[in-house]
Amino acid sequence: MFFLNFTTVEFLALFGSLIGILTALYMLGRSRHKMVVSTLQFWASAGNAYRERSRKRMREPWSFLLQVLSLLLLLLAAGQLEWGHREQSIRKHVLLLDTSAWTSEGTKDGTLLYREKEMAARYLSRLPLKDQVMLVGVDAFTRPTTLFTSDRTVLSNALATLQSSYSALNIERALAFAHRAEALSGGREGEVVYIGPRRIQKQGGSLPKVLNLRTVDLPSDGENCGIRHVGIRRDDRNPSLWHAAVTVRNYGNRVRSLYLRTRLGGSPVALRSISLEQQSESVVEFSFSEKQEGPVTIDLKPDDVLPIDNSVTLHLPSGSKTRLAVFTNRPQVFKPLAETDGNLSVSFFNPAQYRASPDADIVVLDQIAPSEPPAVPSLWIAPPRDASPVPVRAVTAQGVVKDWNSDNALGAGLREKETRVRDADLFQTSPDDVTVASTAEGPVIVARPKTEDHPKFIVLGFDPVQDEARVQATVPLLFAKLFRWLAPQAKQTSEVEASFVGGTIVPINSTEQLGNLHATDESGKSVPFTIHNRLLEFFTDKPSVVILESQGAVRTVSPILADVAENLWVPPVNTIIGLPKSISLPPAARDLWKWLALAGALGLLVEWSLFGQKRSGQSARRTGQIRRHDDAPEPELAAK
């Protein structure tokens, strides 16, 4: 037996204190009290004999013992006394549910992930209700969805939120996490349970030693063919000609006859047939011409049990220059800046000619704020303060740009610390805004990414082409970065590539300078990367688009392909296989506090019914006697 709320020392200290208080109150209630009366004439001498008899024994000892026993039971209930051993009371299990790409495989009973959730629910139903479970979704990453909890409703709701990912299972990382979680939980280690198809890319290194490892195997069909890689490169001589190379793999054990269909904007541009041997892959190469930008979709037909790797869509950039529509009353000051970038095609318009959807890729609004904002990416230069798309909180008459945001492609490479601005607006930014440049008083250049309500735009709180600013070397480079963020195709993209979600490796050409490489996502945020032996590597946890920019070229890498694992993980020899028919672990301790509390309350009730009413009657009689003595006449008055 053991307490959940007290230690043994704490319990004894509390019980001893209660016994002392109860004894003191008991003796105080039975002690002699000094009473002041009018005369001793009405008192018999038998009272002295009564006091002598009362010292020889305790009055109502059974009442005292019954109260002590009842308080003992209530104190045991408060300490939550349990029957059993403490180490067997609560076990902590880690449930690893596979959410890798293979779990999206279709079966007659639903997807493989749906069957995993059913198995997980069956396992949870066989655990003691007090056992705690941590639910973890595992693929290339380890995502705990709950803490250790015994609440089955919380676990059931967490199971419903898990979805199949695009990455492959990393079993070493999953087991290492489970081992650390149990070691740091502070309770008795239960089981580490893996539920899934056991498909991995490769098993490198040694697995952590996990006690009580259990696997519930849900084998996948395996007869799957999918797209492994897509590379589309622009021809060096003909910008409208593209060369594509698509890698297709047969994961199954029988020969498959397939065809690869390529569509550009819904129109077919290529169709190739493929015959693949079992456990083999092939590269399909073809070329097509396209001058306009748009989505290119590559489909592998016919469909199979794993549709997640049968189709891929990439955005093909335009081979033409980026169109810039500038609405201004001073075109002469913008022409030198526009001529610095040969990939821009600039058209100047009077502000009165403004329209929200011009035939342009970027709109520049010079010191104006139209009532209807542009429907395309836009650059706002010193807009009126009461109509700025980003609220203005203050104004600085003479400011100096001190900080450029080097963590973003917008501010990377801008190192000039004395860019002076005059009459600059200081903006009130929102959490999603990107601060490009700031003075000591606040941000003066703010970029707002694209949302469902508006396209991306940038607001400058000062005039960068005024006489003091346009002579600085930072201004032309700043405009080039702003235009490139608003329209990433401003610098002609030479390659478009689809890779796996997770780790992506991109070879760097010998003509590219490593020091000028930048990697950004669609919103313009920098993507961390490493370079080793001219191999650039970055990591993503979901489908995305990464733009790699160097002095020699711009390429778009889209980690959007499902990383379908090829190998089967073999668990250690001491692993328990399958769901248990019944829980083989020793029974958990039993709660006793409810019964103890009931018994304690019942003991107090019995004590009151047996002795409490009697004490109340005696007290009333004594009080009445005293009152009668107090009301008696004085002897002298009675004699008269």
Model pTM above 0.85: no
b (16+ CB within 10 A) / e for 496-533: bbbbbbbebebebeeebeeeebbbbbbbbebbebeeee
What's 322-488's CATH class?
A: alpha beta
Q: What angle do CA 100, 570, 133 make, to 5 degrees?
A: 60
Q: What's the whole-number mean pLDDT along residues 541-550? A: 82
User: CA-to-CA distance for 294 and 308, rounded, in angstroms?
Assistant: 22
CA 317 to chain centre: 34
Express each pLDDT in 177-192 by its tens digit: 999 998 888 777 889 9
What gap in Å lies between CA 585 and CA 592, rounded to an integer?
21
Mean pLDDT of 459-487: 74
For the chain, give the percent of residues with pLDDT over 70: 79
Question: Please, what is the end-to-end C-alpha distance for the chain in angstroms?
Answer: 77
Higher pLDDT, 60 or 446: 446
280-289, 572-581, 620-629 — which is least confidently predicted?
Answer: 620-629
Identity of the residue numbered 173: R
Spatial neighbors of 217 by CB under 8 A, at least 6 apart, are: 196, 197, 198, 577, 578
For β-strands 91-98 and 188-196, DSSP reports them as parallel
Q: Do domains 86-222+567-588 and 322-488 have the same CATH topology?
A: yes
Q: Which of 339, 502, 524 is nearest to 446 (CA)?
A: 524
Beta bridge partners of 267: 264
Return the pLDDT at 204: 62
Tokens for 310, please give them.
Answer: 């049968």
What 3-state class would DSSP assign to 226?
A: strand
Mean per-residue pLDDT, 137-141: 93
Scored b (16 or more CB within 10 A) or e, 209-229 reads ebebbbbbebebbbbbbbbbb
Neighbours of 172 (CB within 10 A): 16
Q: Where are the beta strands (DSSP E) in 17-150?
A: 81-83, 91-98, 106-107, 110-111, 132-138, 142-144
pLDDT-derived band at 229, boundaries 50, 70, 90 = very high
pLDDT for res 49? 46
Alpha helices, DSSP H, located in 304-429: 331-338
Task: Name residue 574's amino acid.
Answer: N
Residue 489: pLDDT band (50, 70, 90) is low
Using CA atoms, how far apart are residues 335 and 465, in angstroms rounded to an integer?
11
What does the block give as tokens for 431?
A: 């959490």
Query: What is the predicted pLDDT for the residue at 54?
Result: 46
pLDDT in tens, 411-443: 666 655 567 788 889 999 998 898 888 888 899
What one-letter code names the amino acid at 46?
A
Closest by Cα among 200, 201, 198, 203 to 217 = 198
Distance CA 222, CA 47 (A): 102
pLDDT band at 578 (very low <50, low <70, confident <90, very high): very high
Residue 421 CA to residue 407 CA, distance in Å, equals 22
User: pLDDT tens across 354-402, in order?
Assistant: 999 998 889 999 999 999 999 999 999 999 999 999 999 999 888 888 7
Q: Are 436 and 410 in contact (CB under 8 A)?
A: yes
User: Residues 456-472: pLDDT tens digits?
Assistant: 999 999 888 774 554 45
Cis peptide before 302 (omega within 30 of 0): yes
Distance CA 418, CA 401 (A): 6
* Residue 485 pLDDT exceeds 90: no
Upper half-sphere CA count for residue 129 (Cβ side, 13 Å): 3
Q: Rounded distance, CA 8 to CA 304, Å?
A: 65
Q: In the 8-state DSSP scheme, what is residue 103? A: G
Contact partners, residue 237, CB within 8 Å, separation at least 6:
none
Say if domain 86-222+567-588 classifies as CATH 3.40.50.10800: no
Mean pLDDT of 123-130: 88
Beta bridge partners of 243: 233, 287
Distance CA 372, CA 370 (A): 5
Q: Are 330 and 341 in contact (CB under 8 A)?
A: no
pLDDT digits 0-9 by tens, 309-339: 999 998 887 666 778 999 999 888 888 776 6
Q: Percent of the chain at pLDDT above 90?
A: 35
pLDDT at 231 over 50: yes
Q: What is the predicted pLDDT for the residue at 21?
A: 83
Distance CA 372, CA 367 (A): 15
Reference 346, options 373, 370, 323; nearest CA is: 323
Determine the angle formed by the axes of helices 593-607 and 61-78, rounding to 10 degrees.
160
Average pLDDT over residues 115-128: 93
Average pLDDT, the chain: 81
d(CA 56, CA 353): 115
How is the chain split into domains, by residue range? 2-83+592-638, 86-222+567-588, 322-488
Of residues 65 and 87, which shows the higher confidence score?
A: 65
What is the rounded distance in angstroms from the CA atom of residue 279 to the CA atom of residue 250?
Answer: 5
Whether the pLDDT of residue 117 is over 80: the answer is yes
Residues in the chain: 640
- pLDDT value, residue 325: 93
225, pLDDT greater than 80: yes
Q: How far is residue 234 from each of residues 171, 237, 283, 288, 497, measured CA to CA in Å?
A: 39, 9, 18, 10, 11
